[in-house]
Amino acid sequence: MFKGMDVDGGRNCAVVLDAKAGELEQTAAQLSQAIRGFDWRGPDADRTRQSWDTDQVRALQSVVEALRAFSTLIKTQAEDQEKVSAA
């Protein structure tokens, strides 16, 4: 048996997903600043920071994008549910 979506609950969930995506973006920026913000020189430092800038930041950005995409999906499903319920 199916039960329609709690539209308000779905929309609230989407808001939380968007907010957490924004928080993760801010956290990634703060981490980048911390990683670049202390004195460390040499090839190990260069490799480590390069790895952060290319691999780790990219991975975090992928999570941010996934959270936002999932938020959009839930918003769309809430709108669809509202239309079906109104019919």
7-86 — its CATH code? 1.10.287
Rounded Cα distance, 19 and 28, in Å: 14
Rounded Cα distance, 28 and 86, in Å: 42
Res 63: pLDDT:
99
Rounded Cα distance, 31 and 23, in Å: 12
Q: Report pLDDT digits (tens) over 14-45.
A: 999 999 999 999 999 999 999 999 999 999 99
Q: Residue ranges of the domains in the chain?
A: 7-86
Q: Report pLDDT digits (tens) over 43-84.
A: 999 999 999 999 999 999 999 999 999 999 999 999 999 999
